[in-house]
Amino acid sequence: MKESMRARIFKRMFWFTVGSLALALGVLGIVLPLLPTTPLVLLATFAFAKSTPSIEAWLRRHSVFGPIIIDWQRNGAIAHQYKVLAVGTMLAVLMMSYIFAVAPFVLILQALCMSAAAVFILTRPS
């Protein structure tokens, strides 16, 4: 087998694995507030476009994920309801961390990361 063919197979396997993991975590994120569903589904879509276009097409047609993906791909937009949900979830997780007396360093790190994520989310068009 030629080296370039091996490299293509490796790339497809790599992107398929990334897509599968991102989609699995994104689906878990529907019920687990610590996992951000939308970015993981967008990552899965990107990865499947590079490895398995039929799965990417299925995600775009999906009744739940499709509108999110299409809004992002066309406009770089996040619907207002998802912005509210994302920021609200981040605040709830931060409050839970405070209530459960997470170490101050971890709490500060969480606050910084979540603040950066919230700024990104809130500055996207709706």
Provide the H-helix boundaries in the chain.
Answer: 3-28, 37-51, 53-61, 65-75, 80-99, 104-123
Name the phi and psi angles at 114, rounded to 5: -70, -35
Q: Is the predicted pLDDT of residue 125 greater than 90, yes or no?
A: no
How far is 25 from 82, CA to CA, in rounded Å? Answer: 17
Q: How far is Cα of residue 55 from the mean position of the Cα atoms in its chain?
A: 16
Cα separation, 93 vs 66, in Å, equals 27
pLDDT digits (tens, 9 = 90+) for 56-99: 999 999 998 898 888 888 888 787 887 888 888 888 888 988 99
pLDDT category at 2 given cuts 50, 70, 90 is low
What is the model's pLDDT at position 27? 87
Annotated domain spans of the chain: 1-75, 78-126
Give the single-character DSSP code of 43.
H
Average the pLDDT over 29-42 and give the result: 78
